[in-house]
Structure 1
Amino acid sequence: MSAQESDVQEESTIQNSKALHRELDFLELRGNHVVDALAGTTMIFGDYPDSELDFFLRVGYKYHIISNLNVNLSFNRYSIAISDTAKENFMSFDFNLEYLIIPHRNISPFVFGGYGYNASSGFEETHTKVQFGLGLEYMIMDGLGLKLFGDYNYVLSNEMEGLIVPDNDESFLRVGLGANLYFGGKKRKEKILENIETVINSNLIK
């Protein structure tokens, strides 16, 4: 093997080792399963010009495919205040892909987007929607993080508030503060440690 090929292989081994250690740091700090809960506020951008802020609650579950990327499903309960005297209650089931930008650090921004199913509280009205958003998570201790986030939701219907205006689909904004509870990842840690040991041994053989 030439010196150049040896240098390329050594650099590849170093990068692979760094990636494994970052993944291990993620699992030590967080975990590959997450239960989250939060509360916040909602405001609709629709046919009523005097809509106001109202409450928003969420519970959900996430699974990290890799340290940076997770798939998640959440149940959301929220109200739309059309005016001082009129309020509508809704729920949504949201499926998202979420990207954690620096998952091995205590503080990490994240972005997400996906598809949702929206319904009035008694399922008299149902609508599909798409959503996307961003946020910031701070790990206050291993396995427990606080997060602040906002998402924009575009409902594929113009009948969400009960007032129909042609060619004017509804959209609403949700902002919330909550917590992520991480757990799991033992088997993934064991596999990473085996791979790290393999990398170390292969370097020793050289």
Structure 2
Amino acid sequence: MKRKYFILCYFLIAIFFSSCGTYFNQPLDQSRARIGENSSPEMSIKGFLPKNKTVVGVYKFRDQTGQYKPVENGSTFSTAVTQGGTSMLLKSLEESNWFKPIERENIGNLLNERQIIRNTRQEYAGDNKPIKMPPLLFANYIVEGGVVSYDSNIITGGSGLRYFGVGASGEYRQDRITVYLRVVSTSTGQILKNVYVSKTILSQGLSANLFKYVSLRRLLEAETGITKNEPAQLAVKEAIDKAVELLITEGIIDGIWEPAGGEEVVDFVKKNYKEEQEEAELTELYNRKEESRRGKVGVGVVSGVSKIVGDYSDAEFGLGTDLLLKFMLNKSRFAFSLGLGSTTLSNKNIFEKTVYDSSVNFEYYLLPNDKITPYAYLGVGSISSKDLSDNYFKYQYGIGLEYLITNKLGIILRGEQNILSTDNLEGLVRGEKNDKIWHVRAGINFYF
């Protein structure tokens, strides 16, 4: 018995280790400084170059949330969002290869230094002639904006399992930041473009533990786990990179920036941006897509077990198969379905009979736009004997779960109860209740 516990423990820990590469990369030694991580995907706009780079200035890109880091107990004065947003924005503008960013955040320091140079040269020149300095670049546009929101714990959850002192659990939390960015013309003050981007920040924790008395007065206790928190600074950088890419893309479409490739490049950018917009419009807050996944018509086949609830005892499970034809209604939330099938019903050493089943159901899908959705249905039908000599009316109801592998192919699992209009299906009438049949089925649906 003890050996079983240890085997179960080792099995859980093996699964835990195999799914957590971070566990094998524990920071046991000090790390040297390195080049900063590049968490953002490559900007698609980098594949095109502008005819002329635009000079832009950034005075301030601030954290406008005032949000402090969330803690379980006590309080903290450490901000949840980095205060170095201006430096990140300047880096993104430079990496885009479309802009020439100039110093404006600390313009006072720059002007002071130029004055020092001017005074020093004047002093060593030994005359009263004015010393000329190269002129400063002026910005054609000013880029403004900031981090406008930091929402903590928009999604939290987890799961766990413990059996005889051996257990494993996992938890997760998701935060969300939002970045706004705008381009202002320095000649007119007009806001030419205004975009915003949101980015989620994920935190995960996994643990496995063992707490067991292995013998008298001998307690075995073991625990291991990891926690991963996505750095908020990298999330801000990725959001800023995406906002800069949107500024360039929308600027090309509206004629603010001019690419080197001419109209051919503009058409290509328009096409890609339209596809991205359509995808964004279908995506809700929690990355759920408002997409009509199922086709108008679906066909399916399910198989499983059935059991009669009648007047005889010792009912046995029998095999059954159903063919389904489904018609989706009202943007795929409601459906109308037809079914035909056969089932073997039996009671041990007493009764055995193969019946044919037909049904008409009205179905309701709880989450029609998700890949996995529960659903419920209600309908009427008939039960017939194998030689079609006996026919009985019935009504049925059930619940199910469907997972879409693709938008055309789904896996379904469902349970159903049939309530017959007769108590004589197995040839015995006893009591006032009619016979019932339970079905549990699994199979596939194919949508056209």
1:36-51 matches, within 5 Å, as 36-51=300-315
For residues 125-173 of structure 1, give each alpha carbon's deviation from its aligned partner in whole angstroms, at most 9, with x where no partner exists. Answer: 1100010000100011120000100001100101111112252310010
Partner SS for 1:141: coil
Aligned twin of 1:80: 345
Instruction: Say whether residues 1:33 and 2:294 are aligned partners.
Output: no
Query: Does the aligned pair in 2 maintain the 1:38–1:58 contact within 8 Å?
Result: yes
For residues 70-125 of structure 1, give each alpha carbon's deviation from its aligned partner in whole angstroms, at most 9, with x where no partner exists. Answer: 11110021010121463100011100000011111100000001001111111121
Q: How many Å separate the matches in 2 of 1:106 and 1:23?
A: 9
Q: Give the AA of the match of 1:47.
A: D
Aligned twin of 1:141: 406
Aligned twin of 1:168: 433
Higher strand share: 1
Q: How many Å separate the matches in 2 of 1:138 and 1:83?
A: 36
Query: Does the aligned pair in 2 maintain the 1:111–1:135 contact within 8 Å?
Result: yes
For residues 169-196 of structure 1, give each alpha carbon's deviation from its aligned partner in whole angstroms, at most 9, with x where no partner exists. Answer: 100100010001011xxxxxxxxxxxxx
Relative distance call for 1:23 and 1:158 in structure 2 (3 A) is farther
Query: Does the aligned pair in 2 maintain the 1:38–1:176 contact within 8 Å?
Result: yes
Measure how far apart 1:25 and its partner are: 1.4
Q: How many Å separate the matches in 1 of 2:349 and 2:430?
A: 22
Normalising to structure 2: TM-score of the pair?
A: 0.35
Query: Does the aligned pair in 1 maintain the 2:289–2:370 contact within 8 Å?
Result: no
Partner SS for 2:400: strand
Of residues 420, 424, 427 in structure 2, which corresponds to 1:155?
A: 420
How many residues were matched structurally? 163
Q: How many Å separate the matches in 2 of 1:78 and 1:163?
A: 19
Unaligned runs of 5+ residues in structure 1 are 1-16, 184-206
Aligned twin of 2:333: 68
1:59-138 matches, within 5 Å, as 59-66=323-330, 67-84=332-349, 86-138=351-403
- Identity across the alignment (%): 27
Q: Give the AA of the match of 2:327.
A: Y
Aligned twin of 1:187: none
Partner SS for 2:417: strand
Q: Who wins on radius of gyration, i.e. which is larger?
A: 2
Q: How many Å separate the matches in 2 of 1:147 and 1:169?
A: 29
Alpha-carbon RMSD across the aligned residues, in angstroms, is 2.0
Q: Give the AA of the match of 1:25.
A: E
Aligned twin of 1:56: 320
Relative distance call for 1:95 and 1:23 in structure 2 (3 A) is farther
Query: Does the aligned pair in 2 maintain the 1:82–1:88 contact within 8 Å?
Result: no
Larger RCO (CA under 8 A, 6+ residues apart): 1
Query: Does the aligned pair in 2 maintain the 1:70–1:98 contact within 8 Å?
Result: yes
Q: How many Å separate the matches in 1 of 2:349 and 2:445?
A: 34
Query: Does the aligned pair in 1 maintain the 2:351–2:426 contact within 8 Å?
Result: no
Unaligned runs of 5+ residues in structure 2 are 1-280, 283-287
Q: How many Å separate the matches in 2 of 1:150 and 1:92?
A: 15
Partner SS for 1:25: coil
Q: Give the AA of the match of 1:125.
A: D
Q: Give the AA of the match of 1:46.
A: G
Q: How many Å separate the matches in 2 of 1:43 and 1:50?
A: 10
Q: How many Å separate the matches in 1 of 2:414 and 2:300?
A: 12
